[in-house]
A and B are shown apart, each in its own frame.
Chain A
Amino acid sequence: MFRFRTAFRYAFSKTRGQRVTSIMILVGIAIGLIALLVISAVMNGLQNAQMDQLKNLESFDLIVRSDSLNAEDIRSLSGVDQAFRFIETNALIVDETSENSQSIRIRAFEGDIFESQRFSKSLTVISGSKDNMAGLLFSYTTRSRIGISYGDSIKMTFLRRGKTATIVPYSTHLPVSGFFSSKMSEFSSSTAFMDYSILSGIIGTDEAKIAVYVSENQKAVVQSIMKLDPDAVIITWQEYNKALYSALMLEKTLMYVFLAFMFLIICVNLKNSTRRLLSNKQKEGAMLRALGCSRKSVNAIFLGQGLVISILGEILGVVLGKILIANLQNVLKLVDNVVFALSGSRTVLTQIPFNASIGALETALVCLFIFLLSLIFTSIGCRRIYRSEIMEVILNASY
């Protein structure tokens, strides 16, 4: 208790400007931590939003290929939210009115995936109706690109398995039955939907797959499916989006590395502050030893003062960081207003289309990292205690 009290007093000692130095370092640690937490939260929010869109529309949680299982079998498994059988193929589409063309992927689901909460969260049918799937449902992006309108006749050319030749082209005409929009521009510009029975009549169901939305424990669901059909091929969303997932993780790691460098600067200051305190308090260190403190205890007091600053800086950083994350939208608006007032133009992103968030574990890990850095650098600052004979100070003072 005495050691802690002394370390705390020394950390904020009024003598020789120690308090100002300590407060500056504390604020530096807090600002560094806020930066780490906010950037992590934004990165998490961005990643989660992107991954959610991908999982809702593109890759689902799992895609299963099985000769023996149907969607109903998988839907009945524990941990599965929903499952839909689907087929997909690529086709060349030509708008017969404008004669514009585009290559597009066509997906058709058995059952009403548009009623699925996760699917409809990411995709909205804007005009026409999802119930009228006799035609094609295109995205607004495709509409703009090739200039199609509701009711236009679209010529579609597929490659399908022939009776004698392996692959033969096949063309058919279908009307535009509606338009959708999604939050994924790449998905929107490359995908159209049509009725399952019509598409399966054209390309067959040999390549049919099952899209699975998992509600909990993806790993357990995969194991359950493998139990039902050991030959099933299962692709998880992580495998499906491996390249993007790796890129996002790399981006986040690099950001952490750069921010860690910033922390090194703060830690060098912490080390120098410890050294300065040590010089200021050499006599007191000797005095404490004379009063009965062991060498280790005196060292612990000087080490403790650095850690007190570090821990208080971390507490301040976590509190302010969490407040900032919770009010990020308002802060961005404020920054935008300031920029607008100063420059007359709005250049800052005023609306972030995702929720910035950081979990307790990640926060704890960031704090632990900073704590360890502080510990190392304060220890370096304290090394002089081990190197020098502190009683020489009293001897020199007495001569």
Chain B
Amino acid sequence: MHPIELISITKRFRTSEKGEGEITILNNINLDVISGQSTAIIGKSGSGKSTLLHIAGGLDSPSEGKVLCKGTDFASLDDKHRSALRNLHIGFIFQANLLLEDFTALENVMAPALISGKKESECKDRAVQLLERLGLADRMSHVPGKLSGGEKQRVAICRALMNKPEVILADEPTGALDEENAAEVEELLLNLVKEEGRSLLLVTHNQDFAYKCDNVYLLKNHGLTKEK
């Protein structure tokens, strides 16, 4: 059983509020996120990469097809159980500026564990450990406004790994960073995912970054083609 399986996924959007017309973004896509491997999806802007990632994470619903997370169809779950499944088995990393602004770096990392109902005392050690591993020991008490772009993204990586999820979904994790910071974050992310034995589903424009992954797919003309 794969951590995430996408089966015949099609996603259409209405072109107007009245629903008079529709455009197809994704058409009959099948993808398995293999345990312990990293998978990258590349493609042009607007090709539907992020939509595919959100569907894979249960944040959005497909128009047709099924998404299985640990063998459970997201569509069969209500919002509460879908959220709990996401909390425990999936870690998200977004492009930038999606940290909780009023919380410190440490609190941001602990957030998934606190949402799952753990007490602060139970999860603080792991959060501190992750931040230290990513070189943020002296930034723990800083709010996102006081962190650089690279630091914010490292905090986001720690947060995604906090609940030891089986799969990490990363949406352009280096998209808003300069070259130096982007290279650093790429390396940290790939190493950490490997060290922790997690699966990675990555969406990126950056071909170099993508080809460091075990599998690479190109999203083009609403369909996926395996590139590596």
Contacts and interface: CB of A to CB of B under 8 A. Distances in A.
B79 A295 contact: yes
A10 interface: yes
A398 B80 CA distance: 25
Interface string A269-304: 000000000000001101111111111110000000
Given A295-B79, A399-B45, A2 B59 contact: no
A365 interface: no
Contacts of A292: 83-84, 86-88, 112, 115-116
A360 interface: no
A15 B46 contact: no
Given A395-B54, A399-B45, A399-B50, A291 B101 contact: no
B102 A391 contact: no
B57 interface: yes
A399 B101 contact: no
Nearest to A284: B100
A42 interface: no
A163 interface: no
Contacts of B172: 398
A348 to B, nearest CB: 46
A13 interface: yes
Interface residues of B, number: 35
B144 to A, nearest CB: 10
B95 A398 contact: yes
Interface in A369-398: 391, 394-395, 397-398
A333 B223 CA distance: 82
Contact of B57 (A13, A15, A290, A399): A290
Contacts, number: 89
B111 interface: yes
A284 B143 CA distance: 14
B114 interface: yes
Contacts of A394: 50, 54, 59, 94, 98
B141 interface: no
B166 to A, nearest CB: 14
B149 to A, nearest CB: 15
B171 interface: yes
B103 interface: yes
A6 B172 CA distance: 27
B62 to A, nearest CB: 13
Contacts of A395: 50-51, 54, 60
Contacts of A14: 102
9 A-B pairs closest in CB distance: A292-B87, A2-B114, A398-B50, A9-B102, A294-B83, A290-B92, A294-B80, A391-B59, A292-B115
Given A6-B100, A288-B100, 4 more contacts: A1-B114, A9-B102, A293-B87, A395-B51
